[in-house]
Chains A and B, each alone.
Chain A
Amino acid sequence: MSRIVIYLPLFAAIAIGLAGWWGLNPDRDPNAVPSALIGKSVPVFDLLAIEGIQTAGLATADILEIDGPVLVNVFASWCVPCRAEHAVLTRMVQEDGLNLVGINYKNDPSDAAAWLAELGNPYSKIGSDRNGRAGIEWGISGVPETFIVDGNGVVVFRYVGPIQTDAALSSIRQELAQADEDTP
């Protein structure tokens, strides 16, 4: 018995050391928080369209209506990385036939309209979230964030940050393909 007690501090130190070593993995982001929505159905929200543009507003029903996986992208004109991401998203819509909808987060409608006029509008629907409440429903903490909803209306994936790198792009494509398969 006392043998075990004497070795206890060493065992504890080894356990802490292993945890520390695991924690130092460069791929691990200590600040990353997993989304609470994964595996649950699309959150309930209803947003009007951005004033001044033709694209319709976005609500839960709209997402559920769409056949197949949907990419929900949260963006804003004051968000610098969103510009770079925009080009990637546009390409995905053109090349992969992606179903893309957007949530315009805490954006002045005229600013948003000007931004979309300048860069183009790949979104089939955009909801204007002026006070950020819809963002809270999606559990976002910043912009840009992107969600994948499968054909059954279940949120299956969240990507935090701009989809810019090849790695990010392939990861998104992979998840989309997976979501496609899982849908009957």
Chain B
Amino acid sequence: MIPEIGQFALTLALMTAVVQGILPIWGAARGNAVWMHSAVTTSSLQCFLIFIAFGALMRSFIVSDFTVVNVVENSNSLKPMLFKVAGTWGSHEGSLLLWTLILAVFGAAVALLGRNIPTSLKARTLSVQAWISIGFLSFMLFTSNPFDRAFPPPLDGNDLNPLLQDVGLAMHPPLLYIGYVGFSIVFSFAVAALIEGRVDPAWARWVRPWTLAAWVALTGGIALGSWWAYYELGWGGWWFWDPVENVSFMPWLLGTALLHSAIVTEKRGAFKSWTILLAILTFSLSLLGTFIVRSGLLTSVHAFAVDPERGIYILGLLVLSIGGALTLYAVRAPKMELGGLFAPISREGGLLLNNLLLALATATVLFGTLYPLFLEAITGEKISVGPPFFNASFIPIMLPLVALMGIGPFLSWKRADLLGVYQRLKWVFVFAMLCGLAVWYVQTKGPALAVLAMAIAIWLLVATLREWSLRIKLGQVGIKDSLDRLRRVPRSSHGMTLAHAGLAVCMFGFVGSSAWKSEEILFVEAGTQIEIAGFDVTFEGAERVQGPNYVASVGVLRVERNGRYVTTLRPERRSYPVAQSQTTEAAIRSTPAGDLYASITEPANQEADGQWTLRILYEPLVGFVWLGSLMLVFGGLLSLTDRRLRVGAPKRKTQIVSPPQSLEKT
């Protein structure tokens, strides 16, 4: 019964979306306030209905209702409850339902919370949002229905892939989707503005909080995915430039560019056309990502549903939405008013360079990801484009950008005083260079590029802190005054400082864990000793442990340093009987200096009986990747709470006052 309610709710939601897609935008064209206002009702209703559908599917998972095909394919009565719940979005159909839910939530949020947005723009935006919803809801109902029934119901379901039975990974899709789908509302705003034929600087102000919210979620989602890969997959890496990773990264890069470009449009009215284009392209990349992941087009470890028929449907969706939006852009963009002039050396100039570099990075990643497909289509030849290409092209683009980030906040609008900037930053530069030399002295192995990258990361961190300290006049006035200034500085400034510093911290982690990693692989039996990165590790043997739906062999590793006991690592090798597969659970000891990372398996060589294969890694500074990501997320959240974003453009409250009587008489 409940699954049918869910399906019915979805159908109703589709019908509501159709109404929402027609009425408000027609009303905006005709100036009909009632029709425009209907968007509030329809978007709230849509959100409510899809919540019901989502709840129905989740309930089916919680009670293990094996009459629902989706539950059979992705769940099992032995699974822990948390993962039963997570199974709701763990499949192609379920994740699509999550997509449409978030689409509806963002639509309703704009409808209910966007009080400052002019009615016609809001109406058009919600209509465009509804068009996207129609696409996804119909895709679900016609090709990927999560509520299909199974008769006769099996006694138990297939297990969810044990690799996915993990808290980190359970939260990864929701966060990621809030990011991807959050950019849909920005896309809708952009298309609505193009339809309206007008882009005010205020448009950028209204768009900013939604862009920021989506960006924060996407940052969190990507970081969570990387973190999961790091501790789960057993080889100590956290990024592989796999096509599916790339399609999540590209909207992030372009979203970052959009955030910064919107600032210029808001403050100076410049970059209007470019900001609109970015808004369209960021969501277009999200859609492209959905297409690539679900159509089986490219080979990837992550690829979900491999079904060309579904692929054609999504491709059709893409053609309509992306093609339509870009055509509209090409026609309408030249008519937009140009913004304020600025000198090349200015904050606008800096942000322009920022956008150029981010766009170039995105284009490079996109081209590299799709190149095998293009080449195969044209010549039939198959090649692979992997980490060597992406690292070689991406890093040289990003390093100058990171260096620029240190200077950017010091530049003033319209025309910057380069000499002043130089004077404020010269000691920071010297300090960074000295640190670089120190790093070079300490770390003699590893690529030279690592030293340069570290120096640039230190430069960014210190330059950001310097800007912050100058802003609150730290050291120049009393501590109370500084604290006072701290409170009065708008939160978005603090957000910027935290986020930029966060990126610098991330870079410490990137460089440390990639360039200065050490690794030992060997056969061990009880009593074997290994030395790695100054630690003395003894393998004491393996124990057998029973889990809820698995049996595990747990290795016991005693870690000492300079004769003193440090910790005991317990890497596991788990066997899942239902799914008939195995996973490795690595044991990690994390400190700021680095992670000691151990994993075990049975040896492939059958003669080595009673022995285990042990893999121990030492990854310096890798914890900073996660710390930096948290700083990025919190920086964004801090900016989101800025009063200016919530209050919006001030309204005129003065009334027309009639002149005093005395004046009139004379």
Q: With CB as the reference atom, state the residue of chain A lying closest to B297.
A: A23
Which residue of A2, A6, A21, A30 contacts B315 across the interface (Cβ within 8 Å)? A21
Taking a contact as CB atoms under 8 Å apart, the answer to whether B315 and A19 are in contact is no
Q: With CB as the reference atom, state the residue of chain B lying closest to A31.
A: B299
Q: Classify chain A: how many residues form its interface, as a range.
A: 20 to 34
- Which residues of the partner chain B approach A22 to less than 8 Å between Cβ atoms? 377
Cα–Cα, bound, A42→B284 (Å):
48
Cα–Cα, bound, A140→B380 (Å):
19
A17 within 8 A of B: yes
Least Cβ–Cβ distance between A108 and chain B, in angstroms: 13
A48 within 8 A of B: no
Given contacts A2-B334, A13-B326, contact A19 B370 (CB under 8 A): yes
B323 within 8 A of A: yes
Taking a contact as CB atoms under 8 Å apart, the answer to whether B329 and A13 are in contact is no
- Which residues of the partner chain B approach A2 to less than 8 Å between Cβ atoms? 334
Given contacts A22-B377, A24-B308, contact A13 B284 (CB under 8 A): yes
Least Cβ–Cβ distance between B355 and chain A, in angstroms: 14
Taking a contact as CB atoms under 8 Å apart, the answer to whether A30 and B296 are in contact is yes
- Which residues of the partner chain A approach B333 to less than 8 Å between Cβ atoms? 6
Fill in one digit per residue for A119-163: 1 if any B CB lies within 8 Å of its CB, else 0. Answer: 000000000000000000000000000000000000000000000
Taking a contact as CB atoms under 8 Å apart, the answer to whether A17 and B327 are in contact is no
Q: With CB as the reference atom, state the residue of chain A lying closest to B298.
A: A30
A20 within 8 A of B: yes
- Which residues of the partner chain A approach B382 to less than 8 Å between Cβ atoms? 32-34
B579 within 8 A of A: no
Binding site of A, secondary structure by majority: helix, strand, loop or mixed? Answer: helix
Taking a contact as CB atoms under 8 Å apart, the answer to whether A25 and B308 are in contact is yes
Least Cβ–Cβ distance between B412 and chain A, in angstroms: 29
Q: With CB as the reference atom, state the residue of chain B lying closest to A25.
A: B308
Cα–Cα, bound, A23→B376 (Å):
9
- Which residues of the partner chain B approach A80 to less than 8 Å between Cβ atoms? none
- Which residues of the partner chain B approach A23 to less than 8 Å between Cβ atoms? 295, 297, 373, 377
Which residue of A9, A19, A34 contacts B374 across the interface (Cβ within 8 Å)? A19
- Which residues of the partner chain A approach B334 to less than 8 Å between Cβ atoms? 2-3, 6
B343 within 8 A of A: no
Fill in one digit per residue for B307-346: 1 if any A CB lies within 8 Å of its CB, else 0. Answer: 0100110010011001100110110011000000000000
Taking a contact as CB atoms under 8 Å apart, the answer to whether B329 and A9 are in contact is yes
Least Cβ–Cβ distance between B337 and chain A, in angstroms: 15
Taking a contact as CB atoms under 8 Å apart, the answer to whether B373 and A9 are in contact is no
| 258-302 of chain B: CB within 8 A of chain A | 277, 280-281, 284, 288, 291, 295-299
Most buried by B among A6, A22, A26, A31: A6
Given contacts A23-B373, A24-B295, A24-B297, contact A9 B326 (CB under 8 A): yes
Q: With CB as the reference atom, state the residue of chain B lying closest to A20.
A: B315
Q: A6-B330, A20-B297 are in contact. List 13 more A-B contacts (CB 8 A).
A: A6-B334, A9-B329, A10-B326, A13-B326, A17-B322, A19-B373, A19-B377, A21-B312, A22-B377, A23-B377, A26-B308, A30-B298, A31-B299
A binding-site residues for B, Cβ under 8 Å: 2-3, 6-7, 9-10, 13-17, 19-26, 30-34
Q: Give 7 closest A-B pairs by Cβ, nearest first.
A: A10-B326, A23-B297, A24-B311, A24-B308, A22-B377, A26-B308, A7-B330
Ordered by A's residue number, 29 sampled pairs between the chains whose C-beta atoms are within 8 Å are A6-B330, A9-B277, A10-B323, A10-B326, A10-B330, A13-B323, A13-B326, A14-B323, A16-B288, A16-B370, A17-B318, A17-B319, A17-B322, A19-B374, A19-B377, A20-B291, A20-B295, A20-B315, A20-B318, A20-B373, A24-B295, A25-B308, A30-B297, A30-B298, A32-B382, A33-B382, A34-B380, A34-B381, A34-B382
